[in-house]
């Protein structure tokens, strides 16, 4: 196992200087820090959090990386994580990537510099060997989504099953032109399990997916309103139902339907995703896929803390989704 003295021998700096660099001390120049961090990376050296804690120097901070703070799903997930962590003496730091890979890398560096005891990632773009080793070591726990090809532990629900059941429900109601509204980039669809579930249900009814019915990069209520404009622009060939991978976006679509006197679900059926509190408050109530957000957050918090403290892992709960039928479909 690589030790700090190995980094000292490779760089020619003292252990004190290396320790200061790791802790971002102002006395160490950026040039020196870069040389030290490059050597640490080459030697596969990561500071030992457990040793820190034995000396009473653990940060008791857990980073939670999310893509967008404004996404209500992450709001409720972070709330569950924070409450569970706080009960056992840890605090969380919210780190927003805005889906920018460089931000994600910077936040991972915080973990490597011991500014955080652990890191919860709600999605993962950087699946480099270096990051995979941190996951294997238990310093990073990934939950919610990973669309890469590496075999990594992931805390999540069966998204493919969830969208399959929602799409099948629409098909069973007689809908044949079903649109798919997602926050993902279009390029991510081939590896998106939610999209796979949607496509699987269509094919069971001998329906080929229509690229005109896919609306990517929809994240907000405003995006939902503009989505309806795009749907109506398709004229007679427009969808008669929409599977929307966000209750927030679905609420924007429903709001615009009211404004334009489009009857829901008679003219356009809508299914959301997450079952946020807004879903029940809308009129008509939003039919949506309920995710066990609270249970997921509590479990992932318990898991990362068990890793930090080298304790036995908690028992994994059942993380099942459920289609909640209300008035929009």
First to last CA, the chain: 58
Cα–Cα distance, 119 to 64 (Å, whole number): 6
Cα–Cα distance, 120 to 80 (Å, whole number): 13
pLDDT of residue 47: 67
User: Are residue 125 and residue 213 in the same domain, yes or no?
Assistant: no
Residue spans of beta strands (DSSP E) within the chain: 61-66, 91-96, 118-121, 140-142, 178-181, 214-215, 241-244, 269-274, 287-290, 322-324
pLDDT of residue 35: 93
Residue 157 above 60 pLDDT? yes
Q: Is residue 217 included in any domain, yes or no?
A: yes
Point out which residues pair with 62 in neighbouring strands: 92, 118
How do residues 212-239 score in pLDDT, each as one tens digit? 999 999 989 999 999 999 999 999 999 9
Residue 174 above 60 pLDDT? yes
74 and 66 in contact (C-beta within 8 Å)? yes
User: Are residue 65 and residue 114 in the same domain, yes or no?
Assistant: yes
User: Are residue 165 and residue 228 in the same domain, yes or no?
Assistant: yes
| CATH code of the domain in which 284 resides | 3.40.50.2300
Cα–Cα distance, 181 to 106 (Å, whole number): 31
Number of domains in the chain: 3
CA-wise closest residue to 210 among 221, 202, 201: 202
Point out which residues pair with 269 in neighbouring strands: 241
Q: Is residue 255 included in any domain, yes or no?
A: yes
* Range(s) of the domain holding residue 131: 59-155+295-317
User: Are residue 214 and residue 286 in the same domain, yes or no?
Assistant: yes
How do residues 235-290 score in pLDDT, each as one tens digit? 999 999 999 999 999 999 999 999 999 999 999 999 999 999 999 999 999 999 99
User: Are residue 224 and residue 247 in the same domain, yes or no?
Assistant: yes
Residue 32 above 60 pLDDT? yes
User: Are residue 310 and residue 283 in the same domain, yes or no?
Assistant: no
Cα–Cα distance, 18 to 47 (Å, whole number): 11
pLDDT of residue 151: 73
Q: Is residue 174 included in any domain, yes or no?
A: yes
DSSP per-residue letters across 118-185:
EEEESS-S---HHHHHHHHTTSEEEBS---SSS----B---HHHHHHHHHHHHHHTT---EEEE-SS-
pLDDT of residue 57: 56
User: Are residue 18 and residue 83 in the same domain, yes or no?
Assistant: no
User: How high does pLDDT run on average in the chain?
Assistant: 90
User: Are residue 218 and residue 243 in the same domain, yes or no?
Assistant: yes
Q: And the tokens for 118?
A: 């652990």
CA-wise closest residue to 74 among 248, 254, 253, 326: 248
User: Are residue 84 and residue 63 in the same domain, yes or no?
Assistant: yes
User: Are residue 65 and residue 121 in the same domain, yes or no?
Assistant: yes
User: Are residue 151 and residue 172 in the same domain, yes or no?
Assistant: no
| CATH code of the domain in which 40 resides | 1.10.260.40
User: Are residue 182 and residue 258 in the same domain, yes or no?
Assistant: yes
Cα–Cα distance, 132 to 158 (Å, whole number): 22
Point out which residues pair with 180 in neighbouring strands: 214, 243
């Amino acid at each position: 196992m690589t030790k700090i003295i190995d980094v000292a021998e490779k760089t020619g700096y003292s252990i004190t200087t290396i320790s200061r660099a790791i802790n971002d001390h102002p006395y160490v120049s950026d040039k020196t820090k870069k040389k030290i961090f490059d050597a640490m990376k080459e030697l596969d050296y990561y500071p030992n959090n457990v040793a820190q804690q034995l000396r009473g120097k653990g940060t008791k901070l857990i980073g939670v990386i999310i893509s967008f703070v404004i996404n209500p799903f992450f709001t409720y997930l972070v709330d569950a994580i924070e409450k569970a962590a706080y009960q056992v003496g840890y605090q969380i730091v919210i780190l927003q990537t805005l889906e920018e890979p460089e931000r994600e890398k910077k936040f991972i560096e915080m973990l490597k510099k011991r500014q955080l005891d652990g890191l919860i990632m709600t999605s993962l773009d950087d699946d480099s060997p270096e990051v995979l080793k941190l996951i294997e070591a238990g310093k990073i726990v990934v939950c919610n989504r990973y669309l890469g090809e590496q075999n990594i532990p992931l805390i999540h629900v069966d998204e493919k099953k969830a969208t399959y059941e929602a799409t099948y429900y629409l098909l069973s109601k007689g809908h044949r032109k079903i649109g798919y509204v997602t926050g993902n980039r279009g390029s991510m669809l081939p590896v998106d399990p939610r999209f796979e579930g949607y496509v699987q249900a269509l094919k069971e009814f001998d329906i080929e997916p229509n690229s005109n019915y896919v609306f990517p990069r929809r994240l907000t209520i405003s995006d939902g309103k503009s989505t309806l404009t795009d749907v109506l622009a398709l004229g007679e060939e427009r969808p008669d139902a929409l599977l929307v991978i966000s209750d927030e976006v679905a609420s924007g679509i429903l709001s615009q339907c009211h404004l334009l006197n489009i009857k829901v679900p008679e003219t356009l059926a809508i299914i959301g995703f997450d079952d946020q509190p807004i879903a029940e408050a809308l009129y008509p109530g939003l039919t949506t896929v309920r995710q066990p957000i609270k249970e997921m957050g509590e479990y992932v918090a318990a898991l990362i803390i068990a890793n930090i403290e080298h304790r036995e892992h908690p028992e994994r709960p059942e993380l099942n989704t459920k289609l909640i039928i209300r008035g929009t479909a």
